[in-house]
Structure 1
Amino acid sequence: MKFGTTAGISAILMVAAAALQLAAMVSAADYPKAETVWCAKTSRCSDAYVNCPAECASTTTPNAKGKVCHVNCDHPLCKAECKKRKPNCDAPGSACYDPRFVGGDGRVFYFHGKTNEVFTLVSDPNFQINGRFIGHRPAGRPRDFTWIQSLGVLFNTHKFTLEATKAATWDSEVDHLKFAYNGQDISISEGSLSSWYSQDEDIKVERVSTKNSVIISIKDKAEILVNVVPVTKEDDRVHKYNVPEHDCFVHLEVQFRFYKLSPRVEGVLGRTYQPDFENTVARPGVAMPVMGGEDKYRTSDLVSAECGACIFSEEAEDLKKQGNVVDFPTLDCTRGAAAGYGIVCRK
């Protein structure tokens, strides 16, 4: 058979078609069947079913660096997107570095607090998140360098804490996370997708990687992406922290995703989610906008509900029934914390 003849051209076309068919089969096999995410009737995407894309077909993955399907049911496009499962320090709701926040309005600000003190990051009628700061003040500096070392979460009558354990030098093969629920230490097996649920399944802790990265899901309230990191030698050199030899200041990088907040939400970060909030420090030309409020948000303990501006109450559910709490539209969370991103997935 000679190329250029009718038979030859037909044979080439048949081979090409077979190759394309094989490629399509391989491509389909590479991706699992995509999940479908349902948005609650109370959300902006009311009662919509959104298909996950093939490249991130599931809302979970054993790959710490992989992406999962995420749907923002309050976005007008009602579209699924692929997101990483570790904190994005440049996204709204994040708190990283020393510490650098990105508010609900998308603007960057710094809140230094003070070494070995606790400040309320978010306070709403039905849950509160506090953060303990660590750090030090080199000679000649007017303020402390600080980092967020631990979080305390209060909701209903429950208290959950996680902290980054202290280390003189950083070892990524050591897990630096410690957890407690209602005052009792809890253990979570090392390994991607290892998880722990509270007895009522209103809180879930899932490891994103073998060590030092987790996602905390609080039913109907929030999701917290957490990563544990040290102050590196390069950080120390660039920012002139003068970190002592006996402590590498192991701390948390966090990103919060809230399912519902009242319009009067408070806290260092929470206030930036108020509908009428105006950021007066993050102005053009201000290289390092520093937000105050230490006295308003200082609290005595990691699981204390008391601060000058705190509005959390263990009786919030009763207040909600009486109509005193206004919920913003939210994702459906009827599967509790099991859905990971506060979404319901149906195959």
Structure 2
Amino acid sequence: MAEADVTSATSLAKAKRERVTCNTRRSRCYMTYVTCPVECPQVKPKDPKAKACYLDCYSPKCEAVCRRRKPDCSGMGAACYDPRFVGGDNIVFYFHGRRDEHYALVSDAGLQVNARFIGLRPVRRARDFTWIQALGLLFGSHTFTLEAARAETWSDDIDRLRFSYDGTSVTLPETHDSEWSSPSGEFKLERTASKNSVTLVVRETLELYVSVVPITEEDDRVHGYGIPRNDSFAHLEVQFRFFGLSPRVDGVLGRTYREDFANPAKPGVEMAVVGGEDRYRTSSLLSSDCASCVFAPGGNEEISLLRQYATLSCTSGVADGLGMVCRK
């Protein structure tokens, strides 16, 4: 074993294993304390590259696991690159859209998530290259925006993330694990690195992992983007995790979480592109006026009823469910 590996293993062995629990009564882990794994003993490790201890309060299993604190572009709910999505059905697809336009990624009764696309169209190309530059969230009567600020030249030492809550700018100190919460606590923002990576939690609704990245010279060379010298096209890599989506959920990504959705992007098809630009285009980052949008500001009551039963499971008894028996 290399010296660095020995040092890392020794540090893990010495680190105190934290205990975690869930505070929501619907969770199987409600007020049950679980010890973190040896491989990731801390919920918020000081090393931003280390995996963190995580207890999924919405899983039937009451088990702490290790996870990265940044987007996994190959994982379910991811939206990265130009843009490449991984749907709720785990099928990979591309949605290109147009530069300087806004699209509904998710539209549900109590939650709307829009994306602003940036891009460019090289000479003799039929469509734009596009990337996600900003996200706009509507939750009940509140709004939250998260965007990547333009950078002529990229530097890892400069933070490019910008935030706002209900139209007011949010300041988040550039220190690892710094936090901000909205006045009523429905939104919680936390840095997972001192710069350019955060996690946003919308209470009992959404976990969102975000990083800002540039188009590198190698990316430009391989894909032939034609990136100008005065713009690094800083954009977002994101991964969503949803709780209690309704059967009516729609949107570029949201529709893939519906049980009746038949994804036109078949598994194994390289560069499967799906359409829907006209159905999911919104007039702004914080609008819910797309043709297929279902968001309603008062929709949280409907969603809350769904969430009351989101963690129940039909079993032959109650041992594996949460106090529910299903009969024909």
TM-score range, shorter chain: 0.7 to 0.9
Deviation at 1:283, TM superposition (A): 3.8
The within-5 A match list for 1:86-165 is: 86-165=70-149
Note closer, same or farther for the CA distance 1:241–1:27 as it changes in structure 2 (3 Å cut).
Answer: closer
Q: Choose which of 206, 209, 223 in structure 1 pairs with 2:207.
A: 223
The structure having more radius of gyration, on CA atoms, is 1
Quote the Cα distance in structure 2 between the aligned partners of 1:67 and 1:139.
43
CA shift for structure 1 position 280: 1.8
Alpha-carbon distance in structure 2 between the residues aligned to 1:233 and 1:107: 29
Shift of 1:246: 1.6
Contact 2:115 2:132 in 1 (8 A): yes
- The yes-or-no answer on 1:175 pairing with 2:156 is no
Shift of 1:167: 1.2
1:1-347 superposed matches below 5 A: 30-38=14-22, 42-43=26-27, 50-75=34-59, 77-284=61-268, 286-320=269-303, 329-330=310-311
Which region of structure 1 is more displaced relative to structure 2, 27-36 or 102-111? 27-36
Structure 2 counterpart of 1:217, one-letter code = V
What CA distance in whole angstroms lies between the structure 2 residues aligned with 1:234 and 1:28? 35
The one-letter amino acid of 2:279's match is K
Q: 1:28/1:69 Cα in 2 relative to 1: closer, same or farther (>3 Å)?
A: closer
Between Structure 1 and Structure 2, how many residues are aligned?
303
Query: What does the per-residue CA deviation read over 1:277-309, in whole Å, with 9 as the maximum and x for residues that have no partner?
Result: 12122243x211001111111001101121111
The alpha-carbon distance between structure 1 residues 29 and 288, as it changes in their structure 2 partners (threshold 3 A), is closer
What SS is found at the alignment partner of 1:237?
helix
Counterpart amino acid of residue 127 in structure 1: L
Displacement of 1:77: 4.8
Please report how far the alpha carbon of residue 254 of structure 1 lies from its aligned counterpart in structure 2 after TM superposition: 0.3
Specify the code of the residue in structure 2 equivalent to 1:128.
Q
- Residues 137 and 144 of structure 1 are in contact (CA less than 8 Å); yes or no, is this contact kept in structure 2? yes
Report if aligned partners of 2:37, 2:65 keep a CA contact under 8 Å in 1.
yes
| Compared CA separation, residues 203 and 312, structure 1 to 2 (3 A) | same
Deviation at 1:35, TM superposition (A): 0.9
Q: Which protein is richer in helix relative to its size?
A: 1
TM-score (norm 1): 0.81
Q: TM-score scaled to structure 2, two decimals?
A: 0.86
Deviation at 1:80, TM superposition (A): 2.3
CA contact (8 A) 2:43 2:52 kept: yes
Contact 2:21 2:31 in 1 (8 A): no
CA distance in 2, matches of 1:46, 1:177: 34
Listed one character per residue, the Cα deviations across residues 76-117 of structure 1 (whole Å, up to 9, x for unaligned) are 554321001000000000000001000011110000010000
Q: What is the deviation of 1:36?
A: 3.0
For the residue of structure 2 that corresponds to 1:55, the secondary structure is coil
**Farther-moved stretch of structure 1 (42-51 vs 179-188):** 42-51
Answer yes or no: is the 8 Å Cα contact 1:31–1:55 preserved in 2: no
| Alpha carbons 1:62, 1:208 under 8 Å: kept | no
SS of the equivalent of 1:303 reads coil
- Note if contact 1:261-1:327 (Cα within 8 Å) is conserved in structure 2: no
**Cα deviations across residues 289-340 of structure 1 (Å, max 9, x unaligned)?**
001111111001101121111111111134457x6x5766259xxxxxxxxx
Q: Percent identity?
A: 49
The amino acid that maps onto 1:302 is L
